[in-house]
Amino acid sequence: MPITPLANRPHDHSHCVHTALAEADALCARQGLRLTALRRRVLELVWQSHKPLGAYDILGVLSEQDGRRAAPPTVYRALDFLLENSLVHRIASLNAFIGCNHPEHAHQGQFLICRECHVAIELEQAAISDAIVASAKEVGFSVEAQTVEVVGICASCRSA
Ligand SMILES: [Zn+2]
Ligand SMILES: [Zn+2]
Ligand SMILES: [Zn+2]
């Protein structure tokens, strides 16, 4: 019986944010990485919901709420840092970023994206990535990275 991902049911989201930031602190401390105040704040903003957030939305909040005149390249560099260290995933179809539930172990991004509410539910199915690698191998293609983005309607939008 698969566990319903948290993103797809009502829950105390402040707990998600708290856990994500604590995991990022621990991961960076372990790997000797500097989670600067801006990087941490950008991660917190990405985690403000389970809906992917664009770089310009992040910039908007930084200048409106924090009164921080962060230049776009600074925010892009912070996002690059978070991407490189697997703290966030990039959703290409939305040109946006989503926090990762399991930054502590390497995995490929697999997302169910609701076209109504834009929630992105992360799956972690080794069977899917294995199938992609095997199919690619059949045509002599060597897979380096894969992000699967599946579009549809989530359970709460379907019942609404
Ligand atoms: Zn949550
Ligand atoms: Zn992930
Ligand atoms: Zn939805």
- Looking at residue 1, what is its pLDDT? 36
Give the CA count within 13 Å in the CB-facing half-sphere of 9: 4
* Distance between Cα 71 and ligand 3 center (Å): 32
- Enter the CATH code of domain 10-102: 1.10.10.10
**Do 124 and 102 touch, CB atoms closer than 8 A?**
yes
- Looking at residue 108, what is its pLDDT? 83
Domain boundaries, the chain: 10-102, 107-160
**Do 103 and 27 touch, CB atoms closer than 8 A?**
yes
**Do 150 and 132 touch, CB atoms closer than 8 A?**
no
* Distance between Cα 46 and ligand 2 center (Å): 13
DSSP labels, 18-75: HHHHHHHHHHHHHHT----HHHHHHHHHHTTSSS-B-HHHHHHHHHHHS-----HHHH
Architecture of the domain defined by 107-160 = 2-Layer Sandwich (3.30)
Q: What is the pLDDT of residues 90-118, one digit of tens each?
A: 999 999 999 998 888 778 889 999 999 99
Residue ranges for the chain with pLDDT beneath 50: 1-2
Which ligand is located closest to the Cα atom of residue 129? Answer: 2
